[in-house]
């Protein structure tokens, strides 16, 4: 375990190590739990149930964890993975973060010290890093704090970046009164069409056994549509296992829900969500495409907005990504950030920096 001594008006000894591969929660968990007790948790990526799920269901041999501590205890936990490629005669090793994970970093931590400890620990582990590539970072992200140590600064992601938020700090009646006339009219017409076909009911399940059954129902609805050929959870076993276990864990603390809209007894649309820091995070939406002309997903979304407006413990709906349909719901778009840092103590880092500087 490398020891990094830093001098910034005082001496601080930072112990750091790198864990490789999947199934590392037995070592990661205690540090994560200790930090989570002191760091404000802004979204689901910072929850222990999500981080543990990554180690158990998603991580493979490329996965890494950077753990740092000082004399006061855990200092940082940073998940990332490693990619290796050749650039001419050089073998370039990149540290990559992504938008499905986040870091926890103590308030007392200094980003420059953590960067140095990370580079030293990686070298000591036999895989020195040439490039540090941080992606999908939101304001409040632990990884974003670490990324500020790089000299290049942050930039907003312009491709596949950003996320949308619907503010619900007013009553449901006030929210819909302030929205567009077109949206109100289309929802009224959709509801009329739907109710001419049968009875409309919406259920919200929150108990663990009900959430599990609701999750399975969601998977079936999603698989029946166009996503069933590729993008649906039914075709993504690792993501499906992660999300199932995460929702069950969060249901145990009353923070998960599955919402289903039905035509008589037939499931027509469903949503998966949890609540963190007064924010409902909406992960997935699915609908029965055979009922698409009845707009079931829009009707369910309208009910969710009204529900959150009238729910004391929720101030906003986080739509996780940025999609064209979010505009219909007057969602505010927020940026996500990326940063690229090079290790100038390595030939590969120098070459990478030079290549970037020479781009037209």
pLDDT in tens, 28-85: 999 999 999 999 999 999 999 999 999 999 999 999 999 999 999 999 999 999 999 8
Q: Is the pLDDT of residue 297 over 70?
A: yes
Q: Is the pLDDT of residue 3 over 60?
A: no
pLDDT tier at 9 (50, 70, 90 boundaries)? Answer: very low
* Cα-based distances in Å from 184 to 136, 176, 191, 193: 34, 7, 11, 14
Cβ atoms of 91 and 84 closer than 8 Å: yes
Assigned token pair, 147: 């990324």
Cβ atoms of 122 and 18 closer than 8 Å: yes
Span 225-254, pLDDT tens digits? 766 667 899 999 999 999 999 999 999 999
The dihedral sign for the CA sequence 41, 42, 44, 45: negative
Q: Can you identify the CATH homologous superfamily of domain 163-334?
A: Gcn5-related N-acetyltransferase (GNAT) (3.40.630.30)
Going from N- to C-terminal start, the domains of the chain cover 3-155+337-357, 163-334
**Residue 171 CB neighbours (<10 A):** 12
Assigned token pair, 200: 């409309």
76-107-144 Cα angle (round to 5): 65
Task: Indicate if 163-334 has the same CATH topology as 3-155+337-357.
Answer: yes
- Residue range 3-155+337-357 forms a domain whose CATH class is alpha beta
pLDDT tier at 309 (50, 70, 90 boundaries)? Answer: very high
| Lowest-pLDDT range of 114-118, 125-129, 133-137, 356-360 | 356-360
């Amino acid at each position: 375990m490398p020891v990094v001594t830093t001098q910034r008006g005082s001496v601080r000894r930072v112990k750091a190590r790198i864990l490789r591969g999947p199934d590392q929660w037995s070592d990661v968990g205690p540090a994560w739990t200790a930090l989570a007790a002191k760091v404000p948790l802004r979204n689901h990526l910072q929850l222990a149930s999500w981080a543990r799920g990554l180690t158990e269901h998603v991580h493979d041999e490329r996965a890494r964890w950077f753990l740092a501590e000082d004399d006061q205890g855990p200092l940082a936990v940073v998940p990332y993975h490693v990619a290796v490629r050749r650039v001419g005669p050089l073998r370039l090793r990149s540290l990559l973060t992504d938008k499905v994970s986040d870091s926890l970093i103590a308030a007392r931590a200094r980003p420059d010290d953590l960067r140095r400890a990370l580079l030293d620990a990686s070298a000591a582990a036999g895989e020195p890093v040439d490039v540090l590539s941080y992606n999908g970072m939101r304001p409040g992200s632990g990884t974003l704090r670490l990324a500020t140590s790089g000299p290049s600064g942050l930039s907003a992601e312009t491709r596949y970046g950003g996320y949308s938020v619907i503010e619900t700090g007013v009553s449901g009646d006030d929210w819909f009164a302030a929205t567009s006339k077109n949206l109100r009219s289309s929802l009224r017409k959709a509801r009329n069409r739907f109710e001419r076909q049968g009875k409309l009911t919406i259920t919200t399940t929150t108990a663990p056994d009900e959430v599990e059954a609701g999750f399975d129902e969601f998977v079936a609805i999603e698989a029946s549509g166009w996503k069933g050929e590729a993008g649906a959870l039914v075709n993504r076993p690792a993501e499906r296992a992660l999300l199932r276990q995460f929702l069950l864990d969060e249901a145990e603390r009353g923070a998960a829900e599955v919402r289903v809209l039905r035509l008589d007894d037939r499931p027509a649309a469903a949503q998966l969500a949890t609540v963190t820091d007064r924010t409902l995070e909406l992960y997935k939406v699915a609908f029965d495409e055979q009922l698409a002309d009845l707009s079931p997903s829009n009707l369910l979304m309208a009910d969710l907005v009204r529900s959150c407006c009238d729910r004391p413990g929720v101030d906003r709906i986080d739509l996780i990504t940025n999609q064209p349909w979010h505009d219909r719901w007057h969602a505010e778009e927020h940026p996500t950030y990326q940063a690229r840092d090079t290790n100038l103590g390595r030939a590969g880092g120098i070459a990478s920096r030079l290549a970037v500087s020479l781009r037209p």
